[in-house]
Amino acid sequence: MIVTYISLIILQLFVVLLFNRQKTMDTQIKKTDIRQLSREELKDYFTEIGEKPFRAKQVYEWLWKKSVTDFDEMSNLSLALRDKLKKHFEIRYLTVATSQKSNDGTIKSVFKLADGAIVEGVLIPSGKRMTACISVQVGCSLACDFCATGKLKRVRNLNPDEIYDQVVLINRQAKETYGSSLTNIVYMGMGEPLLNYKNVLQSVEKITEDEGLGMSPKRITVSTAGIAKMIEKLADDEVRFNLALSLHAANDQKRSRIMEINESNSLEELAAALRYFHEKTGKRVTFEYIVFKDFNDTIEDARELAEFCKNVPCKVNIIEYNSIDGGKYQQADRRKVDDFAQFLEQKNIIVNIRRSRGKDIDAACGQLANKNEIANK
C-alpha cells in the first residue's frame, strides 16, 4: 500500500515536471507576428497543417477588417485551431500610452509600439470631417529647419501594421469622443513617407481594400518633403491616393535654407516628377506652404509660387506656422497671409488657409516631437 502511494506521488511529480518542461519549450519558440504574413503565406500555412485554404481568408479578415488583437476573438475558428495559432504566432499591436485633448477638440496620442518605441498621431475634428494624422517613422532623417520632428534622430521605419493600427485607434477615439468615424487620413505625422515607400503603400492597401478597413483612397493624402524619383515611382505604381508636396518656398535658394532635401531634389526636378505623376494618375497635387514672417511672406514669394503652380494642376494649402522649442521662425502677420492668398486667387489658383489645430498640446503641423513623459523615459 505504501509502495503504491509513493509510486503515485512519483508519477504525479513526473507529470508536473513534464508539463512544465513542455510549457517552457513552448514559450521558448520564437513566435512570428501573424500580420507579417501575406494572404498567400497564410494559405500555405493552413494547407501545411491540414486545414482548408478558406481559413486564411477568415483569419485575414479578423486581422485587417475587424482589427482583432487576440486569437480568442476569432470566433469562427475552432478552439483547437486557435490554440495552434497561439502556439506559433502572436499579434503585435500598438497601444495608446497617453492622449491629450486640445481646447479646440484636437486629440494627440502617444502610441507605444511592441518594441517600446513611440510615435505620435492626431485626431483633428473639423465640421463634418474627422481626420487622422498618422506617422510613418520613429523620428525623421530630413531635419527640416522649422520642424520639431526633424530634430529627432530617425530610429526606424514603421511596419504596415503599425501604420494601420494608428488609423484603427484614432478611428476608435473619433467614435467614442464625437460619435463619428474617420472621413480622412493624412500621412503627415512623424517621418517621410517616401523613405518608407513599401510599408506605406502596403498600409494604404490594408486601409482601403474590401478585406481591410474599406476606406476610399480618395480620402487619403500622402505628404512628402519632395523626393523626385519616388514621386515618379508613385506614378508608375498608379497610386489612387492624393499627393501633397511640402513646398514652403518656390525658389531653390530659400527652400534649401529651410529644407536640406532641396539640395538633392531641386524645384526643377520636382516639377518634372510632378508633371509625370499627373500624366500617369490624372490627379491634382496639393502644395503645402507654411508662411514664415519676413522669410517667404511677400507678394514676390506669392508670384514665384504662382509660377511654380503652372507646372501641374494643383491647389495650395497655406498653413500657419507653429512655433517649436528653440525655433528661429515666426508666424507671418495675418494681413500678409491674407494678401498672399488673395494674390494667388487672382491667378485662378485654388487656395485654402489652414488655421492651426491642437497648438496648445503641441499637436499642430510640425510640432510632433514626443514631448511627453513616456517619450523621455
Give me the residues paired with residue 110 across strands: 98, 120
Whole-number average pLDDT of the chain: 89
Positions of CATH 1.10.150.530 in the chain? 2-90
The pLDDT-based confidence of 205 (bands split at 50, 70, 90) is very high
Q: For the whole model, what pTM was predicted?
A: 0.86
Indicate the SS3 state at residue 74: coil
Query: Quick one: pLDDT at residue 149?
Result: 72
Query: Quick one: pLDDT at residue 25?
Result: 42
Cα separation, 166 vs 94, whole angstroms: 7
The pLDDT-based confidence of 43 (bands split at 50, 70, 90) is very high
Give the pLDDT confidence of 55-66 residue by residue, as tens digits.
Answer: 999 999 999 999
Give the pLDDT confidence of 128-168 residue by residue, as tens digits.
Answer: 999 999 999 999 888 787 887 767 878 899 999 999 999 99
Q: Say whether pLDDT at 377 is over 50.
A: no
Q: Is 76 exposed, middle or buried (0-12, 13-18, 19+ CB in 10 A)?
A: exposed
Query: Quick one: pLDDT at residue 328?
Result: 80
88: cell is 506559433
Torsion from C-alpha of 143, 160, 73, 70, nearest 10 degrees = -60
Query: Quick one: pLDDT at residue 27?
Result: 45
Positions of CATH 3.20.20.70 in the chain? 95-361
Query: Quick one: pLDDT at residue 155?
Result: 86
Q: Averaged over 309-313, what is the pLDDT?
A: 97
Q: Say whether pLDDT at 372 is over 50.
A: no
Query: Quick one: pLDDT at residue 34?
Result: 97
Instruction: Indicate the class that CATH gives domain 2-90.
Output: mainly alpha
Indicate the SS3 state at residue 118: strand
Give the pLDDT confidence of 227-280 residue by residue, as tens digits.
Answer: 999 999 999 999 999 999 999 999 999 999 999 999 999 999 999 999 999 999
Helix axis angle for 160-178 and 197-208, nearest 10°, is 40
In this structure, whether the domain defined by 95-361 belongs to CATH 3.20.20.70 is answered with yes
Whether the CB-CB separation of 299 and 343 falls below 8 Å is answered with: yes
Cα separation, 87 vs 26, whole angstroms: 7
Query: Quick one: pLDDT at residue 20?
Result: 56
Q: Say whether pLDDT at 373 is over 60.
A: no
Query: Quick one: pLDDT at residue 367?
Result: 45
Q: Averaged over 327-349, what is the pLDDT?
A: 92
Cα separation, 90 vs 113, whole angstroms: 14
As annotated, the active-site residues are: 120, 365
Q: Say whether pLDDT at 371 is over 60.
A: no
Contacts of 62 (CB under 8 A, 6+ apart): 68, 73, 74
Query: Quick one: pLDDT at residue 146?
Result: 80
Of the listed ranges 70-74, 350-354, 360-364, the least confidently predicted one is: 360-364
**First vs last C-alpha separation in the chain:** 62
Q: Which ranges of the chain does DSSP label H, i.e. alpha helix? A: 2-28, 39-48, 54-64, 79-88, 160-178, 197-208, 228-236, 252-258, 267-281, 299-308, 334-346
Q: Grid coordinates 491667378 are at which residue?
A: 347
Q: Say whether pLDDT at 45 is over 60.
A: yes
Give the residue among 93, 74, 92, 90 at the shortest CA–CA distance from 82: 74
